[in-house]
Structure 1
Amino acid sequence: MDTTPIRVLQVLGGLEAGGAESFVMNLYRAIDKEKVQFDFVKHIEHKGVFEDEITQMGGKIYRCPKYTGKNHFAYCKWWDSFFKEHPEYHVIHSHVRSTASIYLEIAKKNGLVTIAHSHSTSNGSGISAIVKDMLQLPIRHTADYLFACSDKAGKWLYGEKATKQSNYRMIPNGVDLKRFAFCEEKRQQMRQELGIAKDTFVLGHIGRITVPKNHQFLVELFAEYHKENPNSKLLLVGDGELFETVQQQCTQLGISDVVIMVGSKTNTEDYYQAMDVFAFPSLWEGLGIVAIEAQANGLTCLVSENVPGEAILTENTKVLSIQSKGEWLDELKKVSVGERTQTKNNSIQQYDICTIADWLQQFYLEQHEKVRR
């Protein structure tokens, strides 16, 4: 009997600490790697924060060409050659929407079981968004299975009719609840490392510094709060194309000395410990895995109305309008330094990564057996 683990191909844009990437990595850490191994195809050239960990866990990383439209035939050729050179892959799990209909079609022709996974509810605006909208339309017909992190994300990408089909699954973005549990000792350690006094109020956010995460709103909100509450700091964990723009905004508002921007981190669980309130003013959101993590940590969470209802799990999570900064300020003023509400396990247990990993592991094994390549 062959005891070699099956290998599942995960397709992502890059391997930075974004929502989809974090979900796949949480899954990878929890899955039984003697039965299922993950390998990765990424579209971005530079090295991501998860790459060393992937290699240590036995995963392989491949880079495909970034799709430009002009290189359509070269892009298709790369994928076709890849599948012919790697007959070990029977299952492909796609987390990239824009070109999924292209490479999933090629994967099917090469005999793979194809899974599309929706992690968002918008492509933004402008010409690039229109192009992405058009490119992703065929996915609902191309993929064998349609996964989504929330029903809102599923309806957006596949259409409401498709979410009622037997090949549709809502897969919660699981987290390791024990890893994100509150720890007073770790809180003190992190505050010391970050140069934050015990009695300083910390507003925090973890996420890619990109348009949908709405950092501009968050920085303006903190600037207003800091005027009345000088013993306060803003902690931003994440990287992205708007990193320098946000830095400049902080300088213009005169708050650079009280804003801590630490870049992208793999140990995000440690940074929640240092916070008093987690703010999540997203313009759009597939689910919002960081909101789940923050709630697992027992933090008071202020989230925008654009965060799906599936992510609202605790009583100390407030849904607020990004049209009203006053609402956010009022809620911030209600929270004390060091305040934590013990998260009730039954409200958040559905997001336990171990349960989700067990289900997906069995699913991958079943799909692998169906294929004879």
Structure 2
Amino acid sequence: MIRVLHSVSNMDRAGIETMLMNYYRHMDREKVQFDFLCNKTKPGAYDEEIKKMGGRIYHTPGLNPAKYPQYLKYMKQLFEEHKEYRIVEAHNGALGVYALHAAKVNKIPVRIFHAHGASITKDWKLPIKLVCKSMLPANMNHHFSCGIAAARCYFGDKVVDNNDYELIPNAIEVERFIFNEKVRTAMRKKYGFENKHIIGHVGRFMTQKNHAFLIDVFEEVSKKDSQAMLVLLGDGELQEEIRKKVNEKGLSDKVYFAGNVGNANEWYNAFDVFMLPSVWEGLPVVGVEAQANDLPCIFSESVTKEIGLSKKAEFLSLQETPLVWAQCVLDKLKESNRKDNTQLITDNNYNISYEAIKLQERYLELYEEQK
């Protein structure tokens, strides 16, 4: 058995972490085991499941530049105590260079950078991220990416044009997300949504996900459709700010904050339209899930076109007004028939039952190559 050490923020329910868990659950764990290098001390929603499957969770001193000597010391000790690690895979965006550099210094032969984002968040950490990004090529020796846009962002045009990277799809457990009329009826009855037209969104409350614009769009929808409701799944640092905006617009009785739930698959059945007006994305797993459920989807043009698997998927510019977006939502609400999309998802290489086997074999190959 080989062990792959994944550098993450923490193992909470979010896009990258959920993708990793999808693959982890479908690995032959007698051949490949996942361990997680968490850079936040906060416990994650997946921690107990990881431990039950035989995975280990480590907590570093964090990705603060001032603590980098501590980080390096921690990693040196970790690799000395656990000489079985030959593969390190970083999922932290540009800051993934921390784990990769520590792995290189400690002579870990397989150092994978896994690109998930098609842009770098422009916050106060931007200068640090840009320096870290410039250091990535010298510290990684394998390129993984969820999609072409993310690969171009982190690896550059030359790597992409030469096809010098490996595409790892954000695959899902398809059967969990196929539309189920009974689940739809039960969910809508449970929450009192029987006669409502539900616009759904799944995503962390952060600048990237563009919740403020989503509320502006929904305000226009609600003016024309008295039965419209907006359901928001997720939590995050901007949640209170968005709640305040909802209250100020007098939409409190029409917007439901579901929180960070473990049954997003059931919620998709209750939705009528799925919206993702993100400022940027790599290749969002929620978009795959929503299309597996055969939901009409509206994505911003900032989301990579690779996510457009279904004929019900539409892309709109964020330069368009909320009114234009609202009209698109109202049109999509008329597309009420839903079908089994298993074949669509499988044909596009997003069925985890098949993709996990491919990734498992790739890890085994990489391990054998470095011997």
- TM-score in terms of structure 1 length: 0.94
2:34, 2:55 within 8 Å by CA — same for their partners in 1?
yes
Which residue number in structure 1 is paired with residue 50 of structure 2?
54
TM-aligned CA deviation for residue 343 of structure 1 = 5.4
Match of 1:94 among 90, 106, 116: 90
SS in 1 for 2:87: strand
Question: Structure 2 CA distance, aligned partners of 1:295 and 1:157?
Answer: 27
SS in 2 for 1:78: helix
Match of 2:135 among 133, 138, 143: 138
Report Cα offsets for 1:254-300 as digits up to 9, x if no partner. 11122111111222111111100000000000111101110010000
Match of 1:271 among 267, 272, 279: 267
Task: Determine if the alignment matches structure 1 residue 22 to structure 2 residue 11.
Answer: no
TM-aligned CA deviation for residue 138 of structure 1 = 1.9
Which one-letter code corresponds to 1:129 in the other structure? L
SS in 2 for 1:138: helix
Task: Determine if the alignment matches structure 1 residue 114 to structure 2 residue 108.
Answer: no
TM-aligned CA deviation for residue 74 of structure 1 = 1.1
Question: Structure 2 CA distance, aligned partners of 1:150 and 1:343?
Answer: 25
Which residue number in structure 2 is paired with residue 187 of structure 1?
184
TM-aligned CA deviation for residue 65 of structure 1 = 1.3
Question: Within 5 Å, which residues of 2 pair with 1:243-254?
Answer: 243-254=239-250
1:234, 1:260 within 8 Å by CA — same for their partners in 2?
yes
Question: Structure 1 CA distance, aligned partners of 2:30 and 2:145?
Answer: 26
Which residue number in structure 1 is paired with residue 201 of structure 2?
205
Which one-letter code corresponds to 1:19 in the other structure? G
Which residue number in structure 2 is paired with residue 241 of structure 1?
237
Match of 2:252 among 256, 260, 275: 256
1:174, 1:351 within 8 Å by CA — same for their partners in 2?
yes
Which residue number in structure 2 is paired with residue 363 of structure 1?
362
Number of equivalences: 367
SS in 1 for 2:44: coil
Which residue number in structure 2 is paired with residue 124 of structure 1?
121
1:205, 1:235 within 8 Å by CA — same for their partners in 2?
yes
Q: Which runs of 5+ in 1 are unaligned?
A: none
TM-aligned CA deviation for residue 167 of structure 1 = 4.7
Distance 1:165 1:141, change over 3 A: farther
Question: Structure 2 CA distance, aligned partners of 1:89 and 1:72?
Answer: 21
Which residue number in structure 2 is paired with residue 75 of structure 1?
71
Task: Determine if the alignment matches structure 1 residue 148 to structure 2 residue 134.
Answer: no
2:291, 2:341 within 8 Å by CA — same for their partners in 1?
no
TM-aligned CA deviation for residue 342 of structure 1 = 2.5
1:65, 1:75 within 8 Å by CA — same for their partners in 2?
yes
Task: Determine if the alignment matches structure 1 residue 329 to structure 2 residue 326.
Answer: yes
Q: Once superposed, what is the RMSD of the aligned Cα atoms?
A: 1.7
Greater displacement, 341-350 / 143-152: 341-350
SS in 1 for 2:29: coil
Distance 1:103 1:344, change over 3 A: closer
Question: Structure 2 CA distance, aligned partners of 1:195 and 1:246?
Answer: 23
Distance 1:166 1:152, change over 3 A: closer
TM-aligned CA deviation for residue 371 of structure 1 = 4.1
Greater displacement, 114-123 / 52-61: 52-61
Greater displacement, 92-101 / 270-279: 92-101
Question: Structure 2 CA distance, aligned partners of 1:71 and 1:305?
Answer: 38
Report Cα offsets for 1:47-94 as digits up to 9, x if no partner. 122212212222111111112211121111111111111112121111
Question: Structure 2 CA distance, aligned partners of 1:213 and 1:289?
Answer: 13
SS in 2 for 1:257: coil
TM-aligned CA deviation for residue 344 of structure 1 = 4.7
Which one-letter code corresponds to 1:357 in the other structure? A
- TM-score in terms of structure 2 length: 0.94
1:137, 1:158 within 8 Å by CA — same for their partners in 2?
no
Question: Structure 1 CA distance, aligned partners of 2:92 and 2:44?
Answer: 16
TM-aligned CA deviation for residue 183 of structure 1 = 0.3
Report Cα offsets for 1:311-363 as digits up to 9, x if no partner. 10111101111222222111111234781342555543211112221111011
Greater displacement, 170-179 / 302-311: 170-179
Which one-letter code corresponds to 1:362 in the other structure? E
Task: Give structure 1 regions of 4+ aligned residues with deviation exceeding 3 angstroms.
Answer: 164-167, 335-338, 343-347
Question: Structure 1 CA distance, aligned partners of 2:324 and 2:145?
Answer: 31
TM-aligned CA deviation for residue 100 of structure 1 = 2.2
